[in-house]
Every structure is written in structure tokens, then in C-alpha cells.
Amino acid sequence: MSVGCGRCERTPGWESVEVEGVTRLQRCGCWTAAHAAPPSVPREFRDARWSTWRKTAENRHALDEAQAFARAGAEGPDLFLCGSVGTGKTRLACTVVNEAWKAGERSVAFERVPMLLYRLQPHGTAAETAGEFNRLTAARLLVLDDLGAERDAATDYTRRTLLMLYEARHDGGRRTIWTSNKTPSEVGAFMGDDRLSSRIAGRCRVIELEGRDWRLAGRAAWRQAQRDPVSGERAAPVMERAR
């Protein structure tokens, strides 16, 4: 049970404030920070929201497609975000997940593909491995980040595991966002097998992000680009709750 911070110790998650002589309860900052994004989202992307983006010539199409994905709910196609390193693929995927979480959807998850493949190897008991696989299958919205980032060419284990996971999610009507530095055809070449890449191409809206490497440019350059866009139109916060 949460005991709250110094401000909400007696009423965890809520702090007392006085407004025009009337004492009211409002959400405490500690609760807001803890619930701002899913726990699985990396720290550097926990602030990603539609309101943190500006539409530019480079990102307009990708933002429009990501927002269309968010609006479509369970009925729409999956999403495959590809492009060179640092173009904002992971930030955009986390924006969709964070907005779903903000809207009340708790069945969401973020996973880096190389780490996922490591965890699904039989290190522990069969029941533990099955439980982890079932957790990933059950999430109504799942980001699978950095497909194809494994150091070596894909193994039979990699091909089999990713294909089984994606098939199980598709059969259950669960939505998936992939990110990769590779296009679907390049994923097929990397895997040495076209079964996964064919399903990605057939089930996903494939969106290529273009532009500079924002990691090399630095966070200050990212923020400056959002303040001084090519177009002054703000990317509208249109996320609907994932189903």
C-alpha cells in the first residue's frame, strides 16, 4: 500500500490545498509522476505526448498516420515505423502508448525486441517462460521496439518466437506497433525468412520517418525544432482509448 509523499502522507495520492478559504483535495504531484506513463516505457520517453510534437515537413505524414492508428482502435491495421537511427520512431510509438495510458487503458506494454528474445529463452521454468509469453500476447497495445537490432543474423529461435508472438496477438485482435531501422523487406533479408516480414507488410501501415539523428543533435535541438516548426500547426491530441 502506498504511504504517499510528504504532501500526501495522510491521504496517499491526494494533497490538501486551500482555494478561497475552502480546503479541497487534488492529485498530488507524486501520484501524477508515477502514473504519467506505463512503467515499461523507457524514462527518456515518459514525457512523450501529442502536445510535445509539432508538425514539420519531415514528420507530418508519420504523425498523421500515428494519430489515425490511435483513433482506429482495435479495428485498424497495426503500425510499422521504420527509418534511420534517431529519427523519432521510438518516441512516436511511446507517444501513442502514453496517450492510451493517459486515457485509462492499462493493458499496454513496451518491449525492446532484443531484450524480449533474451527473456523468453528458457532461463527459468517452463511456467515462467509461458507466463511472460502470455503477458505479451494479452496486452491490448504492445510496442515491439528495435526489430532487427540483434547483433547477429536471426536464428531459428528468433524467427520462431517473433512469428508465434505476432500470430497470437493478431489472432486475439491485439494491436502491435513495431519500430525498426530496417524496412519490411530488409527485415525479411535479415531474418533469412519472409514469413514475419510478409505478415508485417500485409497487416501494418508502414511509415518511414525521415530527417536528422535527434540523439546526435541533442535534446535542445529537438525542443528548438518543436518551437520553430516549418508549419506552426500543433499536432492535435486525438488519441482515443485503445480497445
Least confident of 21-25, 139-143, 183-187: 21-25
Which sign, positive or negative, has the C-alpha torsion 208, 145, 137, 97? negative
- DSSP 8-state assignment for residue 154: P
Strand 22-27 relative to strand 175-180, pairing: unpaired
Burial of 75 (0-12, 13-18, 19+ CB in 10 A): exposed
**What's the pLDDT band for 11 if we cut at 50, 70, 90?**
confident
Residue 37 per-residue DSSP state: S
8 A C-beta contact, residue 143 and residue 179: yes
Q: Which of 15-19, 94-98, 227-231 is predicted least confidently?
A: 227-231
Check whether 107 has a pLDDT greater than 80.
Answer: yes
**Residues in CB range of 8: below 8 A, 6 or more apart:** 14, 15, 28, 30, 31
Which tens digit of pLDDT belongs to each residue from 184-205?
Answer: 999 999 999 999 999 999 999 9
Going from the N-terminus, what domains does the chain have, and what CATH number goes with each?
1-35 (no CATH), 38-227 (3.40.50.300)
Q: What pTM, to 2 d.p., does this model score? A: 0.77
pLDDT at 34 over 90: no
